[in-house]
Amino acid sequence: MKMKRTFTVAIAALGLGIASAHAVDGDAKSGQQAAAICAACHQVDGNGMNIPGGESWPRLAGLDADYLLKQLQDMKSGKRTSATMTPFANMLSEQQMRDVAVYFSQLPTRSAKGGEKASADELAHGEKLATVGDWDRYIVPCQSCHGPDNQGVGAHFPGIAGQHADYLAGQLRAWKNGTRDNDPQHLMLAIAERLDERDIRAVSQWLSRQSAR
């Protein structure tokens, strides 16, 4: 039964991975003003911060505007919980969320952090999981949903290449333990529940060393 469910999820993931995106109706200039409250964590340039062994705030720069808007809406509605983010999301109106999403989506990206000390074995294992998967364990490759080179597809599948390693690892653990659950058809749970800690570290470190476009 579990095998059947896994292949059903895998097929759904492959199908959703080619979903088309639509433009967010927002104004980047207004978004820059509203995004002032975001700078403390996500930095003025929107590229976030990774403190080894401590907090990790994600890169928002260059992410799809539809995805950013959905996350803000989910945090404001309570569908996605975050003790840090929810108060800030609650401060934004619907139009401000749209403006902020457009603003961050247009910012240039810089190199992510967290994978600098990864060993060659860890990077090879992470690359396999991200690009090929592990079908012996029914683990679908990341790029099946997150698109070619894991650059992201639309509102549901963000670009994860070039994202900070500790943030990615934290989100995978959240999907695995059920503290995050705002994805379509519980696709991330189906993947994350099959990942062990070695998998999580390896794939997060490898993805952090890839370029974000």
pLDDT tens for 58-79 read 999 999 999 999 999 999 999 9
Domain assignment present for residue 213? The answer is: no
Q: Please tell me whether residues 117 and 181 are part of one structural domain.
A: yes
**Could you give the CA distance from residue 41 to residue 58 in angstroms, rounded to a whole number?**
9
Q: Please tell me whether residues 86 and 131 are part of one structural domain.
A: no
Choose the final residue of a domain: 73, 90, 105: 105
Choose the final residue of a domain: 105, 138, 164: 105
Q: Please tell me whether residues 37 and 61 are part of one structural domain.
A: yes
Look at residue 6 in the predicted model and tell me its pLDDT.
Answer: 44
Query: At 192, which amino acid appears?
Result: A
Domain assignment present for residue 124? The answer is: yes
CB atoms near residue 87 (< 10 Å): 11
Choose the final residue of a domain: 44, 75, 105: 105
Q: Please tell me whether residues 10 and 82 are part of one structural domain.
A: no
| Of 142, 146, 188, 194, residue with least CA distance to 16 | 146
CATH number of the CATH domain containing 16: 1.10.760.10
Is the pLDDT at 179 greater than 90? The verdict is: yes
Is the pLDDT at 166 greater than 90? The verdict is: yes
Domain assignment present for residue 119? The answer is: yes
Q: How many helices (H) and strands (E) does the chain have?
A: 11, 2
Look at residue 13 in the predicted model and tell me its pLDDT.
Answer: 47
| Of 87, 68, 61, 55, residue with least CA distance to 169 | 55
Look at residue 72 in the predicted model and tell me its pLDDT.
Answer: 98
pLDDT tens for 7-33 read 444 444 444 444 444 589 999 999 999
Q: Please tell me whether residues 158 and 53 are part of one structural domain.
A: no
Look at residue 11 in the predicted model and tell me its pLDDT.
Answer: 44
Please give the residue range of the domain that contains residue 35: 28-105
Taking the whole predicted model, whether its pTM rises above 0.85 is answered as yes
Domain assignment present for residue 43? The answer is: yes
CB atoms near residue 95 (< 10 Å): 14
Domain assignment present for residue 201? The answer is: yes
Mean pLDDT (the chain, rounded): 91
Domain assignment present for residue 70? The answer is: yes
Q: Please tell me whether residues 116 and 146 are part of one structural domain.
A: yes
pLDDT, mean of residues 113-135: 97
User: What phi and psi values does residue 56 have, to the nearest 5 degrees?
Assistant: -140, 120
Q: Please tell me whether residues 69 and 128 are part of one structural domain.
A: no
pLDDT, mean of residues 140-168: 97
